[in-house]
Structure 1
Amino acid sequence: MGEPVWSPVHEDVVGLLADHPADVPAVVDHLTKLQDLLVRLPPLEESCPLADFNKLYLTITSSVLDGLYDDRFSDPVFLARLDVEFATRYFDALRYWTDSSPSTPQAWSCLFERMHGPDARPLPSAAAGVNAHINYDLPFALVTTFDSLESEPVDGGEQHRDYLEINRIFAERIPGLRRGYLDNWQLMIDMLNGDIDDWYQGELVEYTRNVAWRNAQKIWRCRHDPEARECERVRLDGTAAALGRLLLSPLGAFLQ
């Protein structure tokens, strides 16, 4: 029998994942503790690909929490519930991987498989995690949120505007986050490019989250049809997995 998935911090990770965060502060706490564990995973340790994504996710979620405290959102109940449902799908994927379950989404498996090597560059690793979380997890998290609140994904309403406000949080945090993943020579190129890379990646996040909203609306319409919903799940998982593998490939690293 091989080593546990998270050796040498396996028991700590299992214990962390056994608890389900019920609110946004608990999500931030979970992500913080998980980050502390991920950077201790051999052989990559500080350069663990999953840690590269988790750091980004922690930063964005902390900013969402600040926004909730600062009354940034029109419907904080919706935003908080979505944040918890969104995080739940990430933690569920980690639990499935921990149990070597075939239920682990392909979109996440391509990143999880890199935790023990071969090494992947930090920016593509973070991008692969964002891809899995937005392109696969987010539509279903939206559907679960709307269902629990007895609402629905309608364009132009308060909840949709709050959803779009997250794009602005990404735009505010992307420059600092992205440069944190770059080597010195990449930082020189980035300086020469000015704001072009920040603008491009902000536009990409906005486009991807808009697609996730449309996919949520599509799933919403078939939510009472298990077969149709499963078809959507398989489709989104396959598409996100293909993109994730590209991002983690040498070509993906070059493009980043």
Structure 2
Amino acid sequence: MVQSARLTRRLDTVDEAVDRMRALAAALPERDGVAVFNRVYLAVTEAVGHRLAAGRFADPRAATTLDLRFAERYLHAVDAAAEGRRPPACWRPLFQFRRHPGVRPLQFALAGVNAHIGHDLALAVVDACRTLACEPAELEGDFERVGDLLTTLEERVREDLMPGPDLLQVADPITHLLGAWSLERARDAAWSAARALWALRRLPDVAEEFAQRLDAAVGFAGRMMLTPLPD
């Protein structure tokens, strides 16, 4: 199981995931970079819970399992950092720069989204397939529904956290730094990575190497996204 042995805490319900994120929100300073991302992810998780309650997913058990395995990856990274352990490479830039005064809130939010979608989502699909004893293709519909919700919230993040129109000029460094990143492309890459990891499940050494390289590549992108910018 790719990296799953490192996950020490399992979630049983979406409400439990929401409670943990709300507790983080209450404990962290508002400007802390992890707090910025946590607010975004809390909104996503609450929205998934509402849609599950409304019967918006064709297979509620599969959608819940995918959502919980996904949330566990983020919360494990938070626990690792809090306990003085090294979180996955994809999350390290956010924890390293979380209090840097030259990094803007939008950078923190999207760096967290990059880590969670670019790395965690693929491994969460594999975790969910193992939990449910199913193939990735059986989760594709719920994967797309969750992805559509993430895309909507990414748009809201950009609207809420982007500088105002008077500041957002073509020459603004943040325009260049973040403009090339696309959640849709990251989702597509995550699905491809999940299918590759699943295909490699009987070759654990190769699967682990693939996951480690994915982790490192996503971490490198996150470090670039958190480049301190002038006011």
- Check the 8 A contact 1:49/1:119 in 2, yes or no: no
Partner residue in 2 for 1:32: 22
Partner residue in 1 for 2:108: 125
Deviation at residue 22 of structure 1 after TM alignment: 1.3
Partner residue in 1 for 2:133: 150
CA distance in 2, matches of 1:66, 1:188: 36
- Check the 8 A contact 1:21/1:30 in 2, yes or no: no
Partner residue in 1 for 2:171: none
Partner residue in 2 for 1:225: 203
Could you say what the CA RMSD is over the residues aligned between the two structures, in angstroms? 2.5
Deviation at residue 79 of structure 1 after TM alignment: 0.8
Partner residue in 1 for 2:161: 181
Deviation at residue 19 of structure 1 after TM alignment: 6.4
Deviation at residue 221 of structure 1 after TM alignment: 1.1
Distance of aligned partners of 1:107 and 1:180 in 2 relative to their CA distance in 1, 3 Å threshold = same
**Which has the bigger relative contact order, CA under 8 A and spacing at least 6?**
2
- Check the 8 A contact 2:33/2:98 in 1, yes or no: yes
CA distance in 2, matches of 1:119, 1:19: 34
Pick one of 93, 96, 110 that aligns with 2:93: 110
CA distance in 2, matches of 1:230, 1:170: 27
Show structure 2 runs of 5+ residues with no match: 1-7, 169-174
Partner residue in 2 for 1:93: 77
Pick one of 144, 158, 169 that aligns with 2:149: 169
CA distance in 1, matches of 2:67, 2:126: 13
Distance of aligned partners of 1:189 and 1:69 in 2 relative to their CA distance in 1, 3 Å threshold = farther
Deviation at residue 239 of structure 1 after TM alignment: 0.5
Structure 2 residue 59 is the aligned partner of structure 1 residue 75: yes
CA distance in 2, matches of 1:241, 1:174: 19
Partner amino acid for 2:120?
D
Q: Secondary structure at the match of 2:57?
A: coil
CA distance in 1, matches of 2:160, 2:145: 23
CA distance in 2, matches of 1:90, 1:235: 18
Partner residue in 1 for 2:182: 204
The superposition leaves residues 146-166 of structure 1 with CA deviations (integer Å, 9 ceiling, x where unpaired) of 111110112xx5x31221112
% identical aligned pairs = 31
Deviation at residue 204 of structure 1 after TM alignment: 2.2
Distance of aligned partners of 1:220 and 1:20 in 2 relative to their CA distance in 1, 3 Å threshold = closer
The superposition leaves residues 16-72 of structure 1 with CA deviations (integer Å, 9 ceiling, x where unpaired) of xx9643111111111111111112xxxxxx211111111110111111111101111
Partner amino acid for 2:191?
W
